[in-house]
Amino acid sequence: MSEKENTVFQIYYRGKFVTEKDGDVTYSGGERHMLQTQAEFLFRGLMEDFPMPLYGQRIWYKLPYEKMKDLKILGNASDTFRLMCEAARCTNFVEIYMEHENVEDAVVNEEVQEEDQNIGETEEVEEDDNQNGDDEFEEDIRVEAVIGEISDGEDNENYRDTPPCSDDEEEQNRRPYEGWKRGSGELHIRQVFDSIKDFKDAVFEYALKGGWNIQFTRWGDIKSEAKCGVEVDEGEIPCSWRIYCSFEESVSQWMVKTFQDVHSCFKDGHCKILSDSRIAKMFLNEVREDPDIKPKVLQDQIQLRYNLNPSSEQCRKARKKALDLIQAEYDEQFRRIKDYEIEIKK
C-alpha cells in the first residue's frame, strides 16, 4: 500500500482523563506521538514504533470531527476496531488516547524512575519491572498473534465476514459511520453513500425488503428526504417514519443525518416509489428471456416476492419500458458493428 493510503494516528499517552466541573472530559498531561501506518496494522505499529509498552494500557479513539464524549474503547479484532479501520480509509486521520489501568500508580512509578530520588525506591521499581517482565512478554505474544490474524491479508475470512454492526445498542449509538452494502436493504443513522442516487436506491431496497409504503418528499443533488407514504384519514396522526440524507463535508460523502426507523402504521400493500421504471429494471432479464411475458405475471411476482400490489397499468408500462431498454441495447450494439470490424481486422 502506498504512503498516501496510510492513516496518521495522533497518539496521546502517559496522561489521564479528567472530568471538569461542567461535565466535559479532557485529557490531562502526558505526551504526544505521531504514527503513520495502515489502520489494520495499528497495534503492530505501536509495538514497533512507540516509546512505551502497551501492557496495562486502555486505548480509546475518536475521529477528527468527533468530540471527547464520543471516545470509543479500542480492542484487538473487535467490531470497534473494524469500524475504526473502515472510517480511517475515509478520514486518513485518527486520534488515539491511552490511559493506564491503574493510572495513579503508573504516574507515581514513572516519576520515581525518572527522578531517581533514592536508591531504595529505584531498586523497588526495578524489582517490580522484573516481576512484570514475563507478563509483558506474554502480552506482546498475544497481541502479535491477534494482529497476525488480521494482517495476513484482506481475504482473512474471520475479518471479512464480521457483521457490519454490533447488536449492542450502546455500541450502535456510538459507532462512527458505515458504507452502504447494495442489496442489504438496510438503513441506519450515519450511513454514508457515494451519491444521492445510491441513497435513493438504498431506500428503495429497504421498501422492497420490508414491504413498506415509502415516498420521497425532498430530493436534489445535495440532500434528499423520504417519509412513510401510508395515507391517513383527517385527524389521524401520520406515521413518524422518516429519513434525511445530505452531503457531509468531513467525509466527502452523503450521510444519513436523521432517521426515525419505527413505523407506527400498517402495511397497505402499496409503495409510492415502486414506479413503472423501477419495475422495468427489476424484471429486465425476465422480459429479455420472454418478450411476450404478461403484465399479470410481473404483478403476481411482485406480490409474491415483496408483498406489494402494483396496478396492472403500472406493470403494463413497465413491460413496455423494459422492451424499449432491451431494444436500445441492440441498437447500440448495431451502431458499433463497424468498430468491431476494425478491431477484428487489427
Which of 160, 190, 224 delimits the end of a domain? 160
Q: What is the pLDDT of residues 160-184, one digit of tens each?
A: 333 333 344 444 444 456 788 888 8
Predicted confidence at residue 77, as pLDDT, reads 59
Predicted confidence at residue 165, as pLDDT, reads 38
Reported confidence tier of residue 226, pLDDT bands at 50, 70, 90: very high
Q: What is the pLDDT of residues 255-270, one digit of tens each?
A: 999 998 888 888 889 9
**Residue 168 covered by a domain:** no
Residue 138 sits in the same domain as residue 40: yes
Residue 245 sits in the same domain as residue 145: no
Predicted confidence at residue 271, as pLDDT, reads 93
Residue 155 sits in the same domain as residue 17: yes
CB 63 within 8 A of CB 92: no
What distance in Å separates the CA atoms of residue 298 and residue 281, rounded to the nearest whole number?
12
**Residue 9 covered by a domain:** yes
Q: What is the pLDDT of residues 138-161, one digit of tens each?
A: 444 444 444 344 334 333 333 333
CA 65 to chain centre: 16
Percent of the chain with pLDDT over 70: 74
Predicted confidence at residue 78, as pLDDT, reads 66
Cell numbers linked to 278: 423501477
pTM: predicted TM-score of the whole model, two decimal places? 0.47
Predicted confidence at residue 76, as pLDDT, reads 60
CB 83 within 8 A of CB 166: no
**Residue 135 covered by a domain:** yes
Q: Considering its fold, how many domains does the chain have in total?
A: 3
Phi/psi at 62 (5° precision): -150, 155
pLDDT(48) > 60: yes
Pairing verdict, β 253-260 and 242-248: antiparallel
Residue 132 sits in the same domain as residue 235: no
Predicted confidence at residue 266, as pLDDT, reads 86
Show the CA angle centred on residue 58, arms to residues 76 and 38, nearest 5°.
45
Residue 127 sits in the same domain as residue 212: no
Q: What is the DSSP string of 158-170?
A: HHHTS-SS-S-HH
The three-class DSSP label of residue 41 is helix
Mean pLDDT of 20-48: 85
Q: What is the pLDDT of residues 88-134, one digit of tens each?
A: 888 889 999 998 766 544 443 444 344 444 444 444 444 444 444 44
Q: Which domain holds residue 181?
A: 177-260
**Dihedral sign for Cα atoms in the order 323, 329, 332, 337:** negative
